[in-house]
């Protein structure tokens, strides 16, 4: 069963270079894991008071594929760039309710 990983984040003010390195390193890993990626920029908060710079949806073919991606050495090597690129980031998984 497919599973979707959802990330919401705000960029660090001085994190542009780290963000570029993170994206360049992670996108090929997501592709190798069979994930389909959709990225959205925040425009305006309509309900609530929190606004995000980024919302990313990554649909993996299975939970096992997602966990393998997250636990890989290649992804772990990207974590320092992730930490420098974002001032706030949270990621969770979800599956379809239909």
- Which domain does 58 fall in, by range? 18-89
Torsion from C-alpha of 25, 26, 28, 33, nearest 10 degrees? 150
Question: Has residue 74 got a pLDDT over 80?
Answer: yes
Cα–Cα–Cα angle for 43, 37, 48, rounded to 5 degrees: 30
In a domain, 67, yes or no: yes
CATH number for the domain spanning 66: value is 3.30.70.100
Question: Has residue 98 got a pLDDT over 70?
Answer: no
Tally of domains in the chain: 1
Predicted local distance difference test score (pLDDT) of residue 19: 97
State pTM to two decimals.
0.89
In the predicted model, what is the mean pLDDT of residues 45-53?
A: 91
Which residues are within 8 A (CB) of 1 and not within 5 positions of it... i.e. 6 or more apart?
A: 62, 63, 95
Question: Has residue 97 got a pLDDT over 80?
Answer: no
Cβ(68)–Cβ(26) below 8 Å: no
For the chain, give the mean pLDDT: 95
In a domain, 8, yes or no: no
In a domain, 76, yes or no: yes
Q: Which tokens is 4 given?
A: 């979707």
């Amino acid at each position: 069963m497919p599973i979707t990983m959802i990330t919401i984040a705000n960029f660090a003010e001085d994190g542009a270079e780290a963000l570029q390195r993170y994206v360049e390193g992670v996108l090929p890993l997501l592709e190798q894991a069979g994930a389909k990626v959709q990225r959205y920029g925040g425009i305006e908060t309509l309900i609530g008071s929190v606004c995000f710079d980024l919302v990313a949806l990554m649909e993996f073919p299975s939970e096992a594929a997602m966990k393998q991606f997250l636990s890989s050495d290649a992804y772990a090597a990207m974590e320092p760039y992730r930490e420098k690129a974002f001032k706030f980031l949270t990621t969770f998984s979800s599956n379809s309710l239909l």
